[in-house]
Structures are given as structure tokens and as C-alpha cells.
Chains A and B, each alone.
Chain A
Amino acid sequence: MSDYDVCDLPGIVARWNNDPANLVQILRNVQESCGTIPSDTLDQLAKLLGVPRVRIEATASFYHFFHAESHGAYEILFSDNIIDHMAGKEALKRYLCERLWLEPRKLSEDGLVYVDDTADIGLADQAPSMLVNGHAVPSLDHSRLDLIAELIRNKKPLADWPPMLFEIPDNIRQGGPLTGEAFTPGAALLATIARGTDETLAELDAANLRGRGGAGFKTATKWASCRKAEGESLLRKHAGPPQVFPGPLGGEPSEARFSGGAHYVVCNADEGEPGTFKDRVLLNSHADLVFEGMTVCARVIGAKQGLVYLRGEYRNLLEKLKSVLARRREKGLLGKNILGEAGFDFDIEIHLGAGAYICGEESALIESLEGKPGKPRNRPPFPDRCGYRNQPTVVNNVETFACAARIAERGGAVFAASGTPQSTGSKLISVSGDCARPGIYEVPFGVTVRQILIECGAEDAHAVQVSGPSGTCISFREFDRRIAFEDLPTAGAFMVFSRERDMFEVARNFTHFFAHESCGFCTPCRVGTSLLRNTMDKLAAGKGSAYDMNEMKNIMRILQDMAHCGLGHTAANPVVQTMEKFPDAYEKRLKKLDFEPAFDLDGALQTARLITGRDDEWAHIAGEP
């Protein structure tokens, strides 16, 4: 929580090994210590890193948390998920703005404070929430905002703010093997070393562990394939010319300089799906389990380096995670010759994101780790063969690594004993919205939606958005469906909506989210997400017709057929699913016409009215007041 000092560019660049692949981290440090990333900084960075300025600018302008213009000494970003709206976010934001005499998205006149929105910051169980200079403040209400306004007016440095503002409880309501049982750091590693890597892989296979990020790819298959793939060090041993992997996005030459090990372990902690916050809790209170899972993976695939890609919104976890890593190094659980095993060398570095949901997609995440805009690569090849620095890389979700540690420690059979045959083990569910007890529920796979609703005290539930905007919206008619890969796969989000909620507004919020988070690489997603957002806004303004409903279905088909990655494929789901399941929410907004233009003819005359100083009847289009 630094006040902004003079920005020491050479120092920051040196801290990141003068490596352009670390550009996102370098820009983060610049942003954090200077408050902005001014244009001349880009030139200096280009010189220091020896890459063209245009590439630095491409990265600097891609991420939401980087900006060239000043946001003052206090940058306040309100979390903008529908759950925050339901908890009164808009009114609270207006309240704070009034207290501080400013308008949103406009630096205050004294240059002190800036207020804006940002995508869900992973605190849906403690909504509404905000980021102050990148640090999360949960459970906002009038009294907290009064205090914050006071602190800002007194120009109190963030480091001196009352710590209670930044306290974030885990809210674990139901524990399980990951969140409810003690873990001795090193236990899984000892078992792995004793058992051997082939056997550990066999246990993982027997456990039938599937990726917890939502896609459900079998972890043992991914690890085995990555282990088999030849990395740089192995390629060098071949007599023939080295195999050249295609660069990201079909050919950009990689700036990567190989630093040691040829295989990499990457932990995807870019938990950006609105309504999901289980990785926040795992990293806050069970980081050892996660790091140990990564180390087991390193042992199996032969990696020397691991990376955690922590979403920028979880900046407040950074120091804590670093101290866990330091403790593990002291105990010989990271570093050289781990647990005395000669040649078992592995260490973990944490990289922070900078406000880009798309970086949760594994190949976009790798691009971001390499200092580029987070745009998904063309696949194949997949990361298991050609990932970070074009080397074989395992990318797994935080929860997957935690599960892998438990499997290594206790064996596959114990793990597979819970859940369903196709979806073994437990799943962390992040419950938020209209319920008495929002928080984390670790449940065995196969549990019904209804059971979770009973546990969390959601008596009036009408709809649940499972796995966030990119997941599935289910109505009260489907509450007997099960959380499982074979029925309702989920990354963990579970947003509950009561009978009073307007499901149209839920979907409209999600279309705004996707339009904001589309990376812009492919045509269908770049344009399609904006078309969807505009059409939903048109309906909200009372100008919708049956024609628009069909249009949105058409756009959904194009997105599903043509988009480059999962973001585009799923971006229309919330609209189409709510249209199907809650038609009333849409129909009451439609004009009974075949078509209604978005263009407001009378509104277009407003400028002319202002210029002429007229507002009489004849200065308006008839019938449009």
C-alpha cells in the first residue's frame, strides 16, 4: 500500500530480470508506484527492454487497470456484478460520489479521487464491494462509505486506513477434504516421492480428477501428455534441427529467453467469472495445499519452475502468499533438492493480472504471462505441448491443484469414493445473492441445486445462475438437477435470485460484462458482444420488439459457430437462456410491433433545440414528448 513515490523504472525493470516477457508485471509495478503509466514511460520501457514501443503500448492499453491519465491519489472501483447491484451498489456509489463532490469516471476537481466500475472482484458473498488503489474493501454500507469519504478528505495514506476495512472473512459454511480438514505441508510430497511419479500419475488417474475450472478435462491425461512432450532441454539433445513451434496467434516471434527448466507448472488463479470466489478462499486459508499440488505436478512432469497467475483483484493476497512460499522454502518444500531428493528442484513465482477476464482462458493467460495482451492463441497446439515460452506447460485451476495434493497424499480411491463416477470428489461452490448464508460450500459432486439452496437458506429462490454468466441459468423448475460434469458443470459460481428479481436485468448486466471483457481479437465476439449489449439496452429503453429477440438468437448462433474461444461461445447464453426460461421478463418490455428502431428521432433534435432555445410543441416530433 504505497503512496506514490518517484517511479524508478530501471529498478523495476531490473527486478523483473530485464525480461520483456515480464512486461505485465513491470507495468503493474509502474502503475502501482506512479499512479499512472504515462506515454513517455512507454518509450523508456521500450529502450530498457529492447522491444518496439508499439508492443509495449499494445499491452499497456489492453488491461483495465492500466491507464495513462491520472486517477488521483485514490482510485475507487465498484464491483459491478448483478449481485452488487442487488445489494444496492448504484445507490451507494451515488452516495459516495455526493459525499466527495464528484462524478463517476471523472477525476475530482482537486485531482484527489476517481470513481468508476470494474467487473466482479470476487466478493459476491460480501457484496457490494470495491477496490481502493487495487485493495479490496467488502460489505459496503453507508457507515463504511462515510468513513472512507472522511479518510480521503483527510488525505490519509491507504496504509494508515483502519485494517478492519480490508478484513475479508472466508465464510466457509460447509467444509470438506479441501477446506475442512487439516493438512500437514509436505505430506503429499513425501507420499509422491515414496510412491514414485508413475504411480502418482496412476493414483491421479484412478481418482478420475477432472479440471475444476469448469471444462472438466481429465487432469491425469493433461499431466501425462505434458510429461511426454519434449521441452527445450530435450530438444537440444536431438541430432536434427530443433523443432520450431508456431508462436502465439499464429506466429508472433516469442521474446522468451529460456531460463532453465523446459516444463512449466502454471496455476490459474485468475478467478474472474462473476459470482465465483472459491479460489480466493483456498488461497487465503489453504495456500499450502495449492502450492503442494503444484509441486507434486512439477515432480511428475519434470518442471523446475511454477507460476501462479493471480488476478489483479486479489492483490491483497500477494504478501500473504509470498510468505507461505518463503515458509515452504525454509522447510525444504520448495527450492533445490526438495525434501532432500537430489535433483528435485522447483520454485514458484507469483504474477498478478491487471483486470482482464479473458486471461482466465488458459492460452490468453499464457500470453499475459509472456507480457502480451491476453488474447487466446490458435489451438492446437495446446499448452501441454506448447505453452509458456512455447514449452510444455500444465495449466490447472487453483482447486485442481488442491485436489491433486489430497490425491497424492491419500490415494485415488479415497478421493473417488465421494461424488459420482463421472464427477469424483468434492466441489467448492461460491454461493451468493438472495440467501441467508452466502459463502463457500464444499459439497460432494452429484448434490442437487435444491440441497444447496436449503443449506444456504434460500427459501424464495426463483432462479440460479450456475457457473456464472458463461454457465447455465436454471429456473425453479430445474432445482433437482445435479452439480456434476454430466449435468450442471461449474467452476463454482452459484448466484441465487428470488422471485422479486428481474431476470432481464440479470442478463443485461451479463451482456455488459461480456462486451467489456471481449478481447477484440475475432470479429464475431468483438462485434457480437457489443450488438447484444446494445440490443438489451434497446429493450430496457422500451424500444424492443419480437424482431430484436430473434436477432439476439441469431447472434448467439454466430457466436457459438464462429467465435475464437469460450468467451464468445458462451457470451449469448445468459440472454438466450433467460429468454427461454423467463419469457415474461422480456415480453413485458416489448412494444407490440414487428420492429422498432433504436434511433430516437426526437432525441436527435435535442441539440437543435438547445441551439435555438426552443422547446415548444413544434420543436418536437409529433407523438414523441
Chain B
Amino acid sequence: MTKTFTLDGKTIPFEEGETIMEAAAAAGVYIPHLCHHPEFKPHGSCKLCTVNIGGRLGASCTNKAAAGMVVESETEALNADRRALTQMLFVEGNHICPSCEKSGNCQLQAVAYHLGMLTPHFTHFYPARDIDASHPDVLIERNRCILCELCVRASRDVDGKNIFGIGGRGIKARLIVNSASGRLADTNMSVRDRAAEVCPTGAIIPKRHGFTVPIGRRLYDHQSIAEVPVAGIGRPKRD
């Protein structure tokens, strides 16, 4: 017999060991998230996917599903908190959507739309961050980095290269690369690496492909992120 829990009143089946996020995605239920990606080990840092688990709040990407659990996700309070977290991500970096090649394909932008974020709300930090254009095929635009560590995980766990890491701490945390010069060109990065395409924002992007698909015809231009099958999320895989 399949085990189940309820998510916003809906019965969700799950397999032993699955997280709430995994089980929800398999059932076609979207929980907002940014640092989670079904192909990589859960990280639990963006906190957007925080849900109410029987009265206790926890990240749905790192908390395992359990039989009979009562989980709430689409509540006014949780979505208000998620909106605030998204606003925090916007003001701690320098996100200029109109001039960004990723606009329309960007998960940060799409989540912001989904959550009804209309303004950045908080005072901008306007941090001074570096751009690394040294690599012939891949650009690092740290102004857009949200520290989700997907590139870190992809490079370490899939590419087996350990090209990326997070240096510093607190608000000064920053994306670092595996070279003495600190330049991407001096690593063994390839544009074919998984780490080159996994970035949810425009912080790591392949060069010379910025506008291959014109704005207006991009992934989130006509659909909410909740309805778009991004790498298996938001799309039923088990029915």
C-alpha cells in the first residue's frame, strides 16, 4: 500500500525516503523554490520552499515526507514570506532585468512574478561585484548570483571538476572558482559542463547565445513558473 500525506488538503503519495518537494513535484504540485533542482542533492538554502509541517516550519526540499503528515504550502502567510525572501534576493544583488540576457528564462524573475512581487520593497544594497569574462565560452556575472550553489553541486557531483565554491561569509559570501588567479579562464571549465547551464539566473551563461531565442518567446514569457515543466518540476511524472 502506498503511503500518503496531505498537502494543502490534497492527498500526495510518496515513496520511502522522498522529500516533501520530491513527492509534491511527482504529483504535479508546485512549491516555489530556487536552490532546489531534482537532479541534484537537496541544499535547503534559499528557504523559498518553506512549508508548514504539522505546525512546524521547514524547507520542503530537505524534510522527508512521512505518512499522515499534514503539510500547508499555499497559505497567505507563507507566500508573503516567500515574496519577502525573493525581494531580499533582488536587493542583495544587482538584478537589472531589462538588460539581462536571461530575462524570460530566469527562475528568479519567474518566481517573483509567480509570487506577485511588484517592487523590491527593501532598500537596495547595490554591492560592488565582479564580472568574469575571461573564459572564451562562459561568462560569470556575479551581480546576478543568488548563492544557490547549483553550479557548485553540478561541477562537483556531475562534472567531477570542483570548479565552483562559495567564499567569504554572511552578506559578503561570493561565488569563487578553482584557480589561483580567481579567473574562470584558468580553470578547466567547458561550455558543455552541466555547471554551465544549471544556473537559475543569469549569473553563469554561455557566451554568444544571449538572444538566440528572442524576448517574448521565452520559457516564462507566457506561462507561470508553476505551470512550466522545468527539469521535471511542476510536471506530473507519476499518473
Contacts and interface: CB of A to CB of B under 8 A. Distances in A.
A602 interface: no
B180 A42 contact: yes
Interface string B152-187: 010011000011111111111100111110000000
Which size bracket describes the interface of A in this complex?
35 or more
A54 B62 contact: no
Q: Which 8 A-B pairs have the closest CB atoms?
A: A251-B41, A520-B173, A54-B165, A527-B88, A52-B162, A54-B178, A61-B167, A518-B170
B51 to A, nearest CB: 11
Contact of B92 (A42, A515, A526): A526
Contacts of B211: none
B89 interface: yes
Nearest to B88: A527
B81 A558 contact: yes
B125 interface: yes
B178 A52 contact: yes
Contacts of A84: none
Contact of B43 (A55, A250, A529, A534): A250
B45 interface: yes
Contact of A520 (B88, B165, B170, B176): B170
Given A523-B85, A523-B89, 7 more contacts: A53-B180, A251-B157, A373-B166, A373-B169, A529-B171, A558-B84, A562-B81
Contacts of B173: 520, 526
Interface residues of B, number: 45
Given A378-B62, A519-B170, A43 B162 contact: no
A118 B169 CA distance: 15
A522 B164 CA distance: 18
Nearest to B90: A527
Contact of B162 (A39, A55, A373): A55
Contacts of B125: 530
B35 to A, nearest CB: 9
Contacts of B45: 521-523, 564
A146 interface: no
Interface of A: 39-40, 42-43, 52-55, 57-58, 61-63, 246-247, 249-252, 356, 373, 378, 515-524, 526-531, 534, 554, 557-558, 561-564, 598-599
Nearest to B162: A52
B195 interface: no
B50 A598 contact: no
B195 to A, nearest CB: 12
Nearest to A521: B45
B153 A251 contact: yes
A250 B85 contact: no
Contacts of B153: 251
Contacts of B81: 557-558, 561-562
Given A54-B178, A251-B157, A519 B169 contact: yes
Interface of B: 40-48, 50, 57, 59, 62, 81, 84-85, 88-89, 91-92, 122-123, 125, 146-147, 153, 156-157, 162-173, 176-180
A531 B178 CA distance: 31
Contact of A516 (B44, B165, B168, B170): B170
Contacts of B168: 61-62, 520
B136 to A, nearest CB: 20
A250 B91 CA distance: 27
Contacts of B48: 523
A527 B124 CA distance: 11
B89 A527 contact: yes
Contact of B88 (A53, A373, A531): A531
Contact of B47 (A54, A562, A599): A562
Contacts of A562: 47, 50, 57, 81, 85
A531 B147 contact: no
Contacts of B167: 57-58, 61-62
A522 B147 CA distance: 9
Contacts of B146: 523
Contacts of B170: 515-520, 526, 529-530
A558 B147 contact: no
Contacts of A63: 169
